[in-house]
């Protein structure tokens, strides 16, 4: 077992990534106009990273009576993100303060509140102890190669986990939207029935309005109207623009008379420089005031958090470098876990909540970069086609060479298309020619984390965003994370009319459709569906819900020993590297 070779994983990862470290930067800082284009996926992922952190920060603030605020969750996200981009193993991994962290902190705050020996003044120092223990456990896990387990997770597990996250994000969106009809925690507002009704209804308008326009704008490149530049710009920056647009729209009713004050409800975090928020780093002074029994008692929550982080971090990293994305550089699960341990320690000592690798942002990051790569390559190919005088076959070969050179792949799915006859249709053919490929780089993560850092001091602007736009954003991220998830594609297939199944074949997400019997697909999909329901059910059990990774680890023996007995097409449906 790998566990008996301590440091082996970390060392291998470290050297593997060190070899490509220079290239990581060069690939990000490509010469000329291409460099600026990286700002599109960067902005996209910055919003996808910052907005949920702000929402979770609000929740954290309400759960801890303001001991921790949005400013802290943003600070942690920025700090860890910058560290990951500079010194991390997998540079595409997006870090952030996520929901499970918030839930754990909430539970521990209520615990501290109830325990006289601890009390509210010692809550933060105690949390530092929890972080110290968590960090320690993570170090041990990293050193003894715990992440070897990640190779036992097949596509199936990632699919269910991705779907669970999508489900949780959608749940958050729905909860949030319904919450707009409820009484908020803040005081000083007219909280009568009609206030709640007006706020809730306007919330629905803003949430759905944002969701709809954001979804539409992502597809702008395929619009029929407008210049190519405009469509490209909207597709690249539409989602951030829509946040701004719907925030602006939400300001209209507030300005006109007759709207109850405080409608629509907005983000309410205090400024980072407010007295409430700026003193957390003083936590070190009180570290030894925590009673000994609580110092050691902190091991219990630390174990839970460590298990959770180890799982989440690795799975987020794995999903950011799924086989489908066709990445070329080595993995670094062990080293990244080692780094995470260090970051948890730093965050704990600073009195801020720690960050870990997050879903669905990490695969969204990769997907948006792949899409950029696709566009750039596409433009190059179109240029070649436009200026071509030679034969159709030579053109085909020329394009193939270009694709191979740019994507560093050797088996592009090229066929000899007759480009000259239908110039108008060229788009379709070229799209089919380009394999998914991208260069891992550190620039986009560095910029987006720095932008999150700027958010810490930009609270006055952020407070203009209505909470209902946040709920729309959660729904958007949930929906956006699904396409390409084979479980989701198979799930939809269950409801597809038999005479329309060929459309799913054409889309190409399910390459096995023509070889695997439909019954086997149904069986496998229903199994995943039941498992997903079980995982989702677990999250509803108060504190135990944080332990859903255990259910996922159970998937390893199920996949390896039980499923093959029932499903003979498993090899096509869910390739496992240990079987290959």
Own/partner long-range contacts of 196-202 (Cβ < 8 Å, ≥24 apart): 198/259, 198/260, 198/263, 199/260, 199/262, 199/263, 199/264, 199/265, 202/250, 202/253, 202/263, 202/264, 202/468
Residues 469-498 close enough to bind a second copy by CB under 8 A: 492, 495-497
Tokens 């944002």 -> residue: 210
And the tokens for 525? 């999909």
Residue selected from 167, 205, 458, 479 as contacting a second copy according to rule CB under 8 A? 205
Half-sphere exposure of 550 (CA within 13 A, CB side): 9
State in angstroms the smallest separation of the CB of 174 from a second copy: 15
Per the DSSP assignment, residues forming a β-bridge with 422 are: none
Which listed range, 3-11, 102-110, 144-152, 222-230, lies at the site for a second copy (CB under 8 A)? 222-230
Binding mask of the shown chain, residues 424 to 463, with x at each position contacting a second copy by CB under 8 A: xx-x------------------------------------
Indicate the burial class of 124 (C-beta count within 10 angstroms; 0-12, 13-18, 19 or more).
buried
Residues 495-534 close enough to bind a second copy by CB under 8 A: 495-497, 499-500, 502-504
Which listed range, 10-18, 49-57, 221-229, 358-366, lies at the site for a second copy (CB under 8 A)? 221-229
Task: DSSP for 320-333, please give it.
Answer: HT-GGG---SPP-H
State in angstroms the smallest separation of the CB of 62 from a second copy: 23
- CB nearer a second copy, residue 300 or residue 503: 503
Q: Identify which of 361, 311, 313, 323 has the alpha carbon closest to the alpha carbon of residue 481.
A: 361
- CB nearer a second copy, residue 232 or residue 270: 232
The secondary structure of residue 560, as a DSSP letter, is: I
Tell me the angle at which helices 99-114 and 299-320 cross, rounded to the nearest 10 degrees. 170
Residues 98-157 close enough to bind a second copy by CB under 8 A: none
**3-class secondary structure, 232:** helix
Quick count: other Cβ atoms within 10 Å of Cβ 66?
A: 14
**3-class secondary structure, 266:** strand
Binding mask of the shown chain, residues 354 to 383, with x at each position contacting a second copy by CB under 8 A: ------------------------------
Query: Which residues are CB-neighbours of 191 under 8 A, at least 6 positions away?
Result: 183, 184
- Nearest-angstrom CA–CA distance, 58 and 268: 7
Binding mask of the shown chain, residues 382 to 421, with x at each position contacting a second copy by CB under 8 A: ----------------------------------------
Q: Is the dihedral of CA 203, 204, 209, 212 positive or negative?
A: positive
Residue selected from 208, 388, 512, 527 as contacting a second copy according to rule CB under 8 A? 208
State in angstroms the smallest separation of the CB of 425 from a second copy: 8
State in angstroms the smallest separation of the CB of 540 from a second copy: 25
State in angstroms the smallest separation of the CB of 502 from a second copy: 4
And the tokens for 397? 């070969």
State in angstroms the smallest separation of the CB of 466 from a second copy: 13
The secondary structure of residue 261, as a DSSP letter, is: T
- Nearest-angstrom CA–CA distance, 135 and 125: 15
State in angstroms the smallest separation of the CB of 202 from a second copy: 5
State in angstroms the smallest separation of the CB of 177 from a second copy: 11
Please tell me the count of residues contacting a second copy according to CB under 8 A.
Answer: 37
Quick count: other Cβ atoms within 10 Å of Cβ 243?
A: 21
- CB nearer a second copy, residue 136 or residue 504: 504
- CB nearer a second copy, residue 19 or residue 192: 192
Check: CB of residue 388 under 8 Å from CB of residue 436: no
State in angstroms the smallest separation of the CB of 219 from a second copy: 14
Residue selected from 227, 292, 389, 411 as contacting a second copy according to rule CB under 8 A? 227
The secondary structure of residue 192, as a DSSP letter, is: S
Q: Kindly state whether residue 198 participates in binding a second copy, applying the rule CB under 8 A.
A: yes
Which listed range, 52-60, 203-211, 470-478, 539-547, lies at the site for a second copy (CB under 8 A)? 203-211
**3-class secondary structure, 181:** coil
State in angstroms the smallest separation of the CB of 129 from a second copy: 46
And the tokens for 506? 């054409």
- CB nearer a second copy, residue 35 or residue 502: 502
Query: Which residues are CB-neighbours of 300 under 8 A, at least 6 positions away?
Result: none
State in angstroms the smallest separation of the CB of 395 from a second copy: 18
State in angstroms the smallest separation of the CB of 228 from a second copy: 6
Binding mask of the shown chain, residues 230 to 269, with x at each position contacting a second copy by CB under 8 A: -x---------------------x---xxxx--x------
Q: What stretches of 298-408 show up as alpha helix (H) in DSSP? A: 299-320, 333-350, 361-386, 392-407
List of residues contacting a second copy (CB under 8 A): 192-198, 201-202, 204-205, 208, 212, 224-228, 231, 253, 257-260, 263, 424-425, 427, 492, 495-497, 499-500, 502-504
């Amino acid at each position: 077992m790998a566990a008996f070779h301590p440091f082996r994983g970390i060392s291998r990862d470290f050297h593997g990534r060190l070899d490509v470290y220079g290239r990581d930067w060069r690939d990000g800082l490509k010469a000329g106009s291409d460099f600026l284009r990286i700002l599109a996926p960067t902005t996209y992922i910055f919003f996808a990273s910052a907005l949920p952190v702000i929402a979770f920060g609000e929740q954290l603030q309400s759960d801890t009576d303001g001991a921790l605020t949005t400013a802290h969750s943003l600070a942690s996200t920025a700090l860890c993100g910058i560290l990951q981009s500079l010194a991390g193993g997998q540079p595409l991994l997006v870090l952030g303060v996520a929901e499970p962290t918030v839930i754990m902190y909430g539970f521990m705050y209520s615990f501290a509140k109830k325990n006289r020996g601890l009390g509210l003044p010692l809550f933060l120092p105690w949390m530092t102890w929890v972080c110290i223990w968590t960090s320690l456990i993570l170090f041990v896990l990293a050193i003894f190669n715990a992440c070897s387990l990640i190779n036992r997770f097949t596509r199936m597990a990632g699919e269910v986990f991705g779907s669970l996250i999508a489900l949780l994000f959608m749940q958050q969106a729905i909860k949030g939207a319904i919450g707009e009809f409820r009484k908020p925690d803040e005081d000083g507002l007219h909280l009568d029935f009609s206030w709640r009704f007006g706020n809730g209804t306007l919330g629905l308008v803003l949430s759905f309005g944002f969701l709809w326009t954001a979804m539409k704008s992502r597809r702008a490149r395929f619009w029929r109207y407008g210049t190519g530049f405009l469509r490209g710009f909207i597709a690249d920056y539409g989602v951030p623009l829509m946040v701004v647009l719907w925030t602006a729209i939400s300001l209209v009713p507030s300005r006109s008379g007759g709207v109850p004050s405080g409608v629509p409800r907005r983000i309410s975090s205090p400024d980072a420089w407010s007295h409430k928020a700026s003193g957390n780093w003083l936590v070190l002074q009180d570290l030894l005031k925590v009673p000994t029994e609580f110092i050691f008692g902190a091991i219990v929550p630390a174990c839970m958090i460590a298990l959770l982080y180890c799982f989440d971090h690795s799975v987020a990293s794995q999903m950011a470098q799924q086989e489908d994305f066709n990445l070329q550089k080595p993995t670094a699960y062990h080293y990244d876990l080692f780094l995470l341990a260090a970051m948890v320690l730093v965050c704990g000592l600073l009195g801020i909540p720690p960050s870990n690798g997050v879903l669905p942002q990490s695969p969204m990051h990769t997907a948006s970069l792949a899409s950029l790569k696709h566009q750039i390559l596409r433009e190059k190919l179109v240029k070649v086609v436009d200026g071509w005088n030679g034969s159709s076959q030579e053109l085909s070969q020329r394009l193939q060479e270009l694709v191979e050179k740019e994507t560093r792949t050797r088996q592009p799915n090229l066929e000899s298309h007759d480009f000259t006859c239908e110039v108008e249709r060229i788009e379709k053919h070229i799209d089919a020619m380009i394999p998914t490929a991208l260069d891992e780089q550190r620039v986009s993560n560095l910029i987006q984390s720095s932008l999150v850092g700027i958010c810490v001091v930009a609270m006055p602007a952020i407070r203009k965003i209505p909470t209902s736009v946040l709920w729309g954003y959660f729904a958007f991220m949930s929906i956006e994370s699904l396409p390409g998830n084979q479980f989701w594609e198979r799930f939809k297939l269950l409801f597809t009319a038999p005479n329309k199944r060929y459309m799913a074949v054409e889309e190409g997400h399910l390459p096995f459709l023509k070889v695997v019997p439909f019954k086997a697909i149904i069986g496998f999909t229903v199994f995943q569906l039941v498992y997903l329901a079980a995982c989702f059910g677990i999250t509803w059990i108060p504190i135990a819900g944080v332990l859903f990774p255990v259910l996922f680890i159970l998937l390893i023996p199920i996949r390896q020993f039980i499923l093959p007995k029932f499903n003979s097409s498993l090899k096509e449906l869910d390739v496992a590297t240990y079987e290959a």
